[in-house]
Structure 1
C-alpha cells in the first residue's frame, strides 16, 4: 500500500510543479511582450552606414494576396538591399507576377532565379540555393511568400543585429482578416505560440521559426551555408542551433511577422500545426512528451487532481478557476501582440479560443500516430534527430 501512496503523491507533486512552471511562463511572456513588442523604430541617421541586406523570397504558386505582400518588399524604408526571388518551376504563375513588380519598381535591385539547385530533400533550401550563392551583402533575410512587411520592419531587424548577434527573427503572427479561420489563426499565434516564443527568448531556448529571419552570411558560412541544412525540413531550427553553438546569439525583434495568406482555412491551419508537431517529435522527442502539459485543459485537469491529493482542494472549482485565468491571460497576451484590440469581438475570441484549446491535444496526438509529413505536393518521413527522407508518390492504377 505504501508504494502506491508514494506513487500517487509523486505524480501529484509532478503535476503541481508543472502547473507552477507553466504559469511562470505565462507571467514571463506577458511581461516581456509589454516591454519588447511594438517599440518605435529609430529612423534617425546612424553613426555608421547600415549593412546591405540580401532578401531571399522563395515562391511556389500564387494566392490572392501574393502581389500585395511582395509589393511591401519593394517599398521598404532601408538604404541598401537586393530582392532575390526564387521559383522552382520557370512556368510557375509567380514568375509573371514577379516580373510585373520588377517592371513597376525599376529602381529596386531585384532579380529572379528559377530552377533551384538540389542540395538535399528540403525544397525550400533547393529553391533558394542559386539566389543565396549570388547574393552580394553580409546580411541575408529569408522571408516566406505569405509575409507582409511594414516599411520599417527591415530597419527594426537590422537594429537588433548587435556585434555578438548573428540571427534576428520575427515572432510569427497574422494580419487582420475576416472569417473564423482568421480568428483561429490570430488566436493561436497571438496566445499559445506567442507565449512559448517570448518565454523561449527570455530563457534563451531555441524556438526559432524561419518565416522571417535575418542572419549574418559569415555565420551561415561557418555552418556550411544553406546547403548544409538541405536534409532537414525544419531547417530554421537547425540553423539557429548551429549558429548559437558557435558562440553567436539570436534575438527576436520588435515587430511580429505578419502572415497574410490569401487562402485561409481551419483545415489548412490544423494541417500546418500537425506538421510542426511531427517535426518537433522527431527533433526533440523527450521535450515533446511533456508538451501536453503546456496546454490549458490537460494541465488544468492534472493540477486539479493534484491539488485535491496534496491540498484537499475541490478539483472542479480549481479546474474552472484555472481555465478562467488562462482565458484572461490569453486575452491580455493577444492584445499585447496585436498592439491594441483584435479585429473581432470578445465573443468571437471566446469561440476561437475554445476551439484552439480543444483542438491542441488532438493535433499533438495526430502527429504522434501518423509520422508522415505532407508538404505541398511532396511527402516525407523523418529520422530521430530531424533528418528527412522524401517518399516516392504511390502509383495509381
Structure 2
C-alpha cells in the first residue's frame, strides 16, 4: 500500500472520529439544555403588557378520534385575553360540528370560524389560515395544528418567553401518553432523535423550528408581505423562522413541549410521516443527504469503530458495543428529561422500541431519497431544490 493510500485512510478515519465526537457533544448539549430549560415555569411575563392578547389560529381538515379533546383544551386555557380562529377549507368539513358544540359549551370564549381556503400559494396550510391571519385582532399569533393538546397554562408559558427581543416562540414536538407499541415508537422518536437535535439547535440558536405550535409576532411577518410570502414552500415553518432570524429577532422554545395527541397511531402512519419529513429536509438542505445517515447511532458507530481501530488500534467490536450501550443510556436520560415523569411503558418496551427505531431510521431515510413525491393528507407535492413547491395534485 503506497503512502498516498495510507494518508487517505488516516484522513478518512480522522474525519469519521471527529464527526462521532461532534455527535456526542450534541447529545450532551441536548441533555444539559433539556434539564435546564424544559418544564421550568417563569414567574413573570417580560413584555410591555402583562397579558398581551393572543389570536389562536386552528387549521382543521377532517376529524380524528381525539379532535374534540384536543380542541377543548384551547377553550380551557388559563389566559385572560385570547381568541380562537378556526379555519376549514370548505363548509362541509365534519370538524365544524365539533367546533360548533364547543362554541356552545364555552360561550364566553371569543371564537370565529373561517370557511373556504384562500389561493395565496401552493401550501394548503397557509391557504387555510390566511383569512384568519388577516382578520386576527392581536399582534401575537399562535398557529396550532389540530393534533395538539394544550395544558391550561401552556399559552401562559409560551407568552412568558416572548421578550422584547424575541419574535417567535415554539414548542419542541413531543407526544401525549397513549397505549400500544406504535405509541411507544412515536414517543421514543420524539423523545430522543427529535429532541436531541431540537434542544442542541435551540441552545446554539440555530433554526430548528417545527411549526405545529408556534407563537409569533404578526407585525414582523407583515413586514415581509404576510403569510402569503411563504405560500410557495411546503415547510413554511422553517422559512418563517429563518426570516425572523434574518431580521435580528430571537427565536426560542418554551419550557413545555408540544403534546401531539392524534387519534391515528400506527406503524405505517409513523413511517410515512418520518419519510415525508426526511424528504422535506433533503429538498431544503441537500447536505442532509450525506450527514443525516451518519448521525444515526448504528451507522456512525460502524465508521467510528473502524476509525478508532485505525487511529488508536482499539478493538473494533468492543468499541462498537460500548458506543451503542452509551448512546442507549444517554437516550434514556434524555427521554426521561423530556417526559418529566414516569414513562407510560416499562424499560423492556423502551429497549425494544429503541432498537426498532435505531435500526429502521436509515431505511426510512433511504426510502425518502428514492421516493420523489411527497404525500400529505390527500395531496401529492413535487418539490424543487430549496423547498419550493414545484407542482401538486389532489388524490
Q: TM-score range by the shorter chain?
A: over 0.9
Pair 1:91-2:92 in alignment: yes
What residue is the counterpart of 1:387 in the other structure? 388
Contact 2:45 2:159 in 1 (8 A): no
Contact 1:41 1:155 in 2 (8 A): no
CA separation of 1:90 and 1:47: change in aligned 2, threshold 3 A:
closer
Equivalents in 2 of 1:77, 1:193: separation in Å? 29
CA separation of 1:221 and 1:393: change in aligned 2, threshold 3 A:
closer
- Aligned to 1:120, the other structure's residue is in SS state coil
- Aligned to 1:313, the other structure's residue is in SS state coil
Aligned-pair Cα RMSD in Å: 1.4
Q: How many Å apart are 1:294 and its aligned residue?
A: 1.2
Equivalents in 2 of 1:392, 1:47: separation in Å? 46
Pair 1:377-2:385 in alignment: no
Pairs aligned (count): 394
What residue is the counterpart of 2:331 in the other structure? 330
Contact 1:206 1:237 in 2 (8 A): yes
Q: TM-score, normalised by structure 1?
A: 0.97
Equivalents in 1 of 2:330, 2:215: separation in Å? 31
- Aligned to 2:338, the other structure's residue is in SS state helix
> What are the within-5 Å matches in structure 2 for residues 143-158 of structure 1?
143-158=144-159
Pair 1:303-2:304 in alignment: yes
Pair 1:59-2:80 in alignment: no
What residue is the counterpart of 1:317 in the other structure? 318
CA separation of 1:128 and 1:290: change in aligned 2, threshold 3 A:
same
Runs of 4+ with >4 A deviation: 43-47
1:80-133 deviation per Cα after TM superposition (whole angstroms, max 9, x unaligned): 000000000210100111011101100000111110101111110000011111
Q: How many Å apart are 1:44 and its aligned residue?
A: 9.0
Q: How many Å apart are 1:157 and its aligned residue?
A: 0.4
Equivalents in 2 of 1:163, 1:372: separation in Å? 41
Equivalents in 1 of 2:152, 2:141: separation in Å? 17
> What are the within-5 Å matches in structure 2 for residues 243-282 of structure 1?
243-282=244-283
Equivalents in 2 of 1:8, 1:392: separation in Å? 48
CA separation of 1:45 and 1:245: change in aligned 2, threshold 3 A:
closer
Contact 1:41 1:152 in 2 (8 A): no
Equivalents in 2 of 1:46, 1:244: separation in Å? 20
Q: How many Å apart are 1:393 and its aligned residue?
A: 5.5
What residue is the counterpart of 2:227 in the other structure? 226
1:204-245 deviation per Cα after TM superposition (whole angstroms, max 9, x unaligned): 110100000000011111222111111111000000001110
Equivalents in 1 of 2:115, 2:44: separation in Å? 35
Equivalents in 1 of 2:247, 2:347: separation in Å? 46
Contact 1:53 1:137 in 2 (8 A): yes
Q: How many Å apart are 1:40 and its aligned residue?
A: 2.7
What residue is the counterpart of 2:117 in the other structure? 116
Structure 1: any 5+ residue segments left out of the alignment?
none
- Aligned to 1:161, the other structure's residue is in SS state coil
CA separation of 1:210 and 1:47: change in aligned 2, threshold 3 A:
closer
Pair 1:142-2:130 in alignment: no
Q: How many Å apart are 1:3 and its aligned residue?
A: 1.2
CA separation of 1:97 and 1:43: change in aligned 2, threshold 3 A:
farther
Q: How many Å apart are 1:147 and its aligned residue?
A: 0.1
- Aligned to 1:201, the other structure's residue is in SS state helix
Q: How many Å apart are 1:42 and its aligned residue?
A: 2.9
Contact 2:373 2:380 in 1 (8 A): yes
What residue is the counterpart of 1:293 in the other structure? 294
CA separation of 1:374 and 1:169: change in aligned 2, threshold 3 A:
same
Q: TM-score, normalised by structure 2?
A: 0.98
Q: How many Å apart are 1:299 and its aligned residue?
A: 0.6
Q: How many Å apart are 1:201 and its aligned residue?
A: 0.4
Q: How many Å apart are 1:367 and its aligned residue?
A: 1.1
1:133-152 deviation per Cα after TM superposition (whole angstroms, max 9, x unaligned): 11000100000000000000
- Aligned to 2:287, the other structure's residue is in SS state helix
CA separation of 1:44 and 1:314: change in aligned 2, threshold 3 A:
closer
CA separation of 1:45 and 1:295: change in aligned 2, threshold 3 A:
closer
